[in-house]
Amino acid sequence: MHGPGDGDRNLLEMDIETRVKEAQEDPSSPIRDELIIENRQYVRKVASKICKKHIRIQDDEYSIALMGFNEAINNYKENQSTAFLSFAYTVIKRRLTDYFRSEKRHLYQVSLVPADAKSQESNYPEVVKKSFEEHQDIELKEKRQSDVEEFRDHLLKFNISMDKLVKVSPKHKDTRENLLKIAQRIVSSEELLEQFCKQQRIKKEFAEQVGCHRRTLKRHRIYLIALVVVLVENLPTIRSYLGLPAERKGGEECE
């Protein structure tokens, strides 16, 4: 038995597009539901192809694909250069791509290239991975820049410039680690934090409370202020650079 010829396929496409237009014009018409029911198999095949795995009707991906098909019915224009099913494929692919980007565990399943480019299918996951990583890099750079600017603003409240901070930062790792521990002790107590932020000169009693010699606190006061700011304020990329948890801990704003 022969399959339908090109003429038959064209008639089928015209029939679908006519019904799509009717569904758009009359929201109460049952035509929309009929179109969705009739094309469920097509939608599932498209989803399977894009996801590069067998999609069942119970899967979230199938639901996303159906919503994409319904969206295609809403947005298809009669004078478009592409046939409706080709347009629906594009919309479904876009919706699944958005879904997978929000669900990072699906990163390697998304296809972002045309359906007829079969010869290059083995490269799709790498293309998607690279695209996604580039997007993440841009977001990270923007967040890092934002954190640095906010950090600079907080330091200026203490008349500390970034250049000055760089100049006085301890060269030895052990010293930096010891000062970080002191800063953590300071922010762990609201009373100590308030004393540190408000007193102009380091007092002997304060030094004893944080377990450090007064001369050490005086010598590294600027660096300590910077550490306290990082620990108190919401500066996740700078905290990450220091090897600290992303969440800020304890204390009120140091101003």
pLDDT, position 132: 52
Length of the chain: 255
Angle subtended at Cα 57 by Cα 74 and Cα 111, rounded to the nearest 5 degrees: 70
Q: Is 114 helix (H, G, I), strand (E, B) or coil?
A: coil
Percent of the chain surpassing pLDDT 70? 74
The token pair at 10 is 């064209």
- Check residue 119 and give its pLDDT: 42
Q: What is the pLDDT of residues 180-189, one digit of tens each?
A: 888 888 888 8
For 79-138, write each residue's pLDDT tens digit. 777 788 888 999 999 888 888 877 654 444 444 444 444 444 444 455 445 555 555 666
Among left, alpha and beta (phi > 0; psi -120 to 50; other), residue 52 is left
Structure tokens at 162: 């970034």
* Residue type (1 letter), 10: N
Buried b (16+ CB within 10 A) or exposed e, 156-186: eeeebeeeebeeeeeeeeeeeeebbebbbeb
Q: What is the pLDDT confidence band of residue 68, given thresholds at 50, 70 and 90?
A: very high
pLDDT of residue 245: 63
31-38 vs 6-25: helix crossing angle, rounded to 10: 140
Q: Is the pLDDT of residue 6 over 60?
A: no
